[in-house]
Amino acid sequence: MAISSLASAPGGPELLMATLDNNGFTYGSVADLEKAPQTAWTDPWWASSVSVDFAGNDATKVVRVGKATDSPQLALSKDSGATWAVLNSTGTAATDGTVAYSADGDVILWSTLSAGVLAIRNGGKPENVSLPASSVIASDKRDNKVFYAANKAVFYVSTDGAATFTESPLANVTDIRHIAAHPTTAGELFVSTNSGVFRSTDSGKTFAPVSSPVNAHAVSVGKGDGDGWNLYVFGEGADGKKLYGSADFGATWVDLQGDQSFGALDGASLVGSANEANVVYVGTNGRGVLYSSCPVANSTAAPASVRRHTYGRPMRLGRSPRRH
């Protein structure tokens, strides 16, 4: 099963899984990972779902995108992905790409592969947005007016619900690859780049480099021990090009991957659980989802192991990670 996009909503669905083979699935809790879901996402039934996101202030609201060309390719859910409805106002010209949902769920930012970057407000017709085509996009998960975007070396911020975007400086970077907004803290985000990971705590006005694996690809923030949060990243670190985790926002890192292969990391999906401490999910191109529930802080080295899964259910990657 090829995975195209993953999301985990605080206080909402544990895992939203968009796939290229079966549309997608919703897992309500970690306990649900131990069994195959009763049904895939339907109505609409597309051959593929390529991106999924949720409204940070109301996790029952979910949006997903398809890649067909003969029907509208944006669908909304008001019950955490249990049921869906096509948003017909988008027409058939826009398809594929990535999607970001505003914190309250009234604005959708869609970076399409066919019609540039669009904004849909309150279910209306798409509006063109002044961002380069194929921009990387994300929404702030608490501030309803804030969206983030990037294209090559340029980072953009909107504070008016994606009506306008302004450039924000990010020095010594040539390729911004992924944007991860903190699941519960307004204005905090991480971006992965060819020069590593950068952190902002002021909605992208300023950035500081994180002592992290270099040449970083996907990045995510997930629940840690107690009130803490973990940072996860695919990048080149002390043990090579792997999945690394940090419980102290980059002061120390652990190798969460061990000898397990995820395939090409630059195409893999990554999301930390917003509900369960130390759980992180990896979406692969053909092997479904693997997940780790190993502690990131105060961990010790141990061999990696993988438990096989029934069809449609994530595999568990069980290991105690290596600290650096």
Question: DSSP assignment of 252-289, as one string?
Answer: S-EES-TT---S-GGG-EEEE-SSSTT-EEEE-BSS-E
In a domain, 155, yes or no: no
In a domain, 8, yes or no: yes
In a domain, 5, yes or no: yes
**Whole-structure pTM value:** 0.92
CATH number of the CATH domain containing 105: 2.130.10.10
Stretch among 23-32, 193-202, 301-310 having the lowest mean pLDDT: 301-310
Of 33-42, 249-258, 273-282, 290-299, which one has max mean pLDDT? Answer: 273-282
> With 70 as the cut, is the pLDDT of residue 300 above it?
no
In a domain, 106, yes or no: yes
What pLDDT score does 150 carry?
A: 98
In a domain, 122, yes or no: yes
Q: CA-to-CA distance for 114 and 282, rounded, in angstroms? A: 27
CA angle 256, 177, 159 (to 5 degrees): 115
Mean per-residue pLDDT, 180-204: 98
Mean per-residue pLDDT, 300-318: 38
What pLDDT score does 134 carry?
A: 97
* Count of domains for the chain: 1
Give me 22's structure tokens.
């079966």
In a domain, 62, yes or no: yes
Q: Read off the pLDDT of residues 117-132 as tens digits, 9 standing for 90 and up.
A: 999 999 999 999 999 9
What pLDDT score does 299 carry?
A: 53
Higher pLDDT, 294 or 164: 164
Question: What are the backbone angles phi and psi of residue 232, rounded to the nearest 5°?
Answer: -120, 145
Structural domain including 46 reads 1-129
In a domain, 32, yes or no: yes
In a domain, 308, yes or no: no
